[in-house]
């Protein structure tokens, strides 16, 4: 399975559309947004896709949004998200959460995806591969990433 990974869109809907087109062309079968979404309009772009997302430190989701988000077919995150894809354990954080560093060191996940720093990264801590796709806003060159969880291949793509 190929996961398209993005982060830190900060409400830039046009940039999200461009990123999704690039990820689609690269064969993404599902999308992960690592937070600082920036509003319902960005989530509307993710509707109809297999998708997971988390809220970031600049997201202020109002409880009344929940029905709208779920109507888009997206799961409402109450914190970091964990799921399994192609038999691999994947955790999604934004990167500002109190338990973030502990989650990296815990070894519970094969992949830990995050944003927050606006800097792409790929490194390992024990059995966990930690990936930051970069950012779609407030960065010189916007980037996303595509991860093939079966082959462990990762590519960063410019938007």
**Three-state SS for 155?**
strand
Q: What is the reported pLDDT for 106?
A: 97
Instruction: Tell me the C-alpha distance between 50 and 140, whole Å.
Output: 29
Angle at 84 between CA 63 and CA 57, to 5 degrees: 35
113 in Cβ contact with 34 (< 8 Å)? yes
Mean predicted confidence (pLDDT) in 133-158: 98
**What would the two tokens of residue 122 be?**
């790929």
For residues 99-103, average pLDDT? 96
Pick the CATH number of 2-158 from 3.60.21.10, 3.40.50.150, 3.40.50.740, 3.30.499.10: 3.60.21.10
pLDDT in the model for residue 23 = 98
Strand-pair category, 51-53 with 111-113: unpaired
Q: Which H/E stretch holds residue 3?
A: strand 2-6
Largest CA distance in the chain: 40
Residue spans of the domains in the chain: they are: 2-158
Say which residues have a Cβ less than 8 Å from residue 156's Cβ, sequence separation at least 6: 120, 122, 133, 134, 143, 144, 145
What is the pLDDT of the chain when averaged over all its residues? 97
pLDDT digits (tens, 9 = 90+) for 14-32: 999 999 999 999 999 999 9
Query: In the chain, what are the helix, strand and coil shares in percent, each to the nearest 5?
Result: 20, 30, 50
Cα–Cα distances (Å) from 66 to 2, 3, 43, 63, 73, in that order, read 28, 24, 12, 6, 11
For 131, half-sphere exposure in the C-beta direction (CA atoms, 13 angstrom radius) is 30
pLDDT digits (tens, 9 = 90+) for 31-71: 999 999 999 999 999 999 999 999 999 999 988 899 999 99
């Amino acid at each position: 399975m190929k996961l398209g990974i993005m982060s830190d869109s900060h409400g830039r809907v046009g940039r999200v559309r461009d990123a999704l087109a690039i990820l689609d062309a690269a064969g993404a079968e599902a999308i992960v947004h690592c937070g600082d979404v920036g509003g319902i309009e960005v989530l509307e772009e993710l509707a109809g896709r297999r998708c997971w997302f988390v809220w970031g430190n600049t997201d202020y989701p109002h409880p009344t949004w929940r029905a709208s988000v779920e109507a888009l077919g997206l799961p409402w995150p109450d914190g970091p998200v964990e799921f399994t894809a192609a038999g691999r354990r994947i955790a999604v954080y934004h990167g500002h959460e109190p338990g973030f560093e502990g989650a990296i060191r815990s070894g519970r996940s094969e992949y830990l995806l995050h944003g927050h720093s606006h800097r792409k990264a790929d490194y390992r801590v024990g059995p966990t591969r930690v990936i930051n796709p970069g950012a779609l806003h407030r960065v010189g060159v916007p980037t996303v990433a595509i991860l093939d969880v079966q082959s462990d291949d990762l590519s960063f793509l410019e938007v």
